[in-house]
Structures are given as C-alpha cells and as structure tokens.
C-alpha cells in the first residue's frame, strides 16, 4: 500500500464528508421522525469512518521501500483511479435503477457487485454479505418509518 492508495482513501473520506454535509442540509429530522437526509447522513458517516480506519491501517502498513516503488509506478495510480471509476459508476447505476427495480433488488445487486469488486472474496461471501446488509438497512430504516421504492416488488399479491 503506497501513497496512491492513501490518496484514494482520502478521496472516500472527503466524499463521506460531502455526503454528510449535503444530507444535513437536506434535513435529517429526528430519530423517530426521520427526514429525507437521514439515510445518506448515516451512510456518509459510515463511509467516512470506514475509510478513516482503512487510511490508518495503510499508514501503519506502509514501509519506505514499497512507498518508493509505487510512487514511480503509473500502474499504481491507474489502479486507484480505476477503482474510483468502477465504484462511482456503480453508485450512479444505483441511483438510476433504484426507482425501476426497487430498493431491495437494486441494493442487493450493487452491494454484491461492490463487495466482489472490492477485493479477493468469494462470490458466495459477497452474496451473503449483500443479503445481510440489504436486509439490515431495509428493516432498520423501515423501523424508522422510511419508505423505499418498491420497483418490481410492487406487483399485487407479491408482497
């Protein structure tokens, strides 16, 4: 892990801050009366905290020799930019597909894709984690009264 990956991680910390700021301006409401910005607010905080932990781990793991090798490597920079492009594209697709497919289907597909694309994990693990994260977020925010787009699951008698 070199400075290129640290810059990519810093990008995610900053993006989490932008999401938190934007969702706060949108209105987060109260705990039992959530506003439209509550879900992105919580997710922005989670994104920032996870990226911060990753950055701290990277800073501990980096030694001088690997840092010098990656700084001179264009491939390291392209790899970081490629990851940002893949994740940004997945989030853009999530925003486009949320209404037509619905929250459960879209969140599951995007989470499974991102978990598989993030690293060397098996497809089964990515699918299991995606199911767990989708259901936890659905029931957690549903408990607070958040309404999600039903999408394909809105057929009469299906749900």
Q: Are residues 51 and 113 in the same domain?
A: no
The token pair that represents 68 in the structure block: 């010098």
Cβ-based neighbours of 11, under 8 Å, separated by 6 or more: 84
State the 10-residue block means of pLDDT for the chain, 159 residues long: 75 87 83 80 87 80 60 62 82 87 90 83 87 89 81 59
Taking every pair of Cα atoms in the chain, the longest distance, rounded to a whole number of angstroms, is 62
Q: Are residues 92 and 25 in the same domain?
A: no
Last residue of a domain, one of 12, 45, 72: 72
pLDDT in the model for residue 157: 47
Last residue of a domain, one of 53, 72, 91: 72
Q: Are residues 94 and 130 in the same domain?
A: yes
Q: Are residues 131 and 78 in the same domain?
A: yes
* Angle value at C-alpha 55, between 5 and 7, nearest 5 degrees: 35
Give the Cα separation of 42 and 76 in Å (integer). Answer: 31
pLDDT in the model for residue 27: 83
Segments of 39-134 assigned E as strands: none
Last residue of a domain, one of 72, 94, 114: 72
pLDDT in the model for residue 87: 85
Q: Which of 119, 58, 63, 129 is nearest to 87 (CA)?
A: 119
Count of structural domains, the chain: 2
Q: Are residues 150 and 90 in the same domain?
A: yes
pTM of the entire predicted model = 0.54
Q: Are residues 85 and 159 in the same domain?
A: yes
């Amino acid at each position: 892990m070199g400075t290129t990956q640290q810059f990519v991680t810093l990008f995610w910390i900053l993006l989490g801050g932008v999401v938190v700021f934007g969702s706060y301006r949108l209105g987060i409401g109260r705990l039992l009366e959530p506003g439209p910005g509550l879900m992105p607010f919580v997710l922005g905080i989670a994104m920032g905290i996870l990226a911060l932990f990753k950055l701290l781990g990277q800073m501990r793991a980096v030694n001088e020799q690997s840092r010098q090798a990656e700084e001179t490597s264009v491939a390291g920079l392209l790899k970081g930019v490629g990851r940002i492009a893949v994740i940004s594209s997945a989030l853009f697709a999530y925003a486009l597909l949320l209404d037509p497919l619905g929250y459960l289907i879209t969140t599951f597909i995007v989470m499974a894709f991102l978990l598989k694309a993030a690293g060397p994990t098996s497809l089964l693990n990515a699918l299991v984690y995606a199911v767990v994260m989708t259901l936890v977020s659905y029931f957690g925010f549903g408990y607070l009264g958040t309404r999600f787009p039903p999408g394909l699951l809105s057929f009469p008698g299906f749900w």
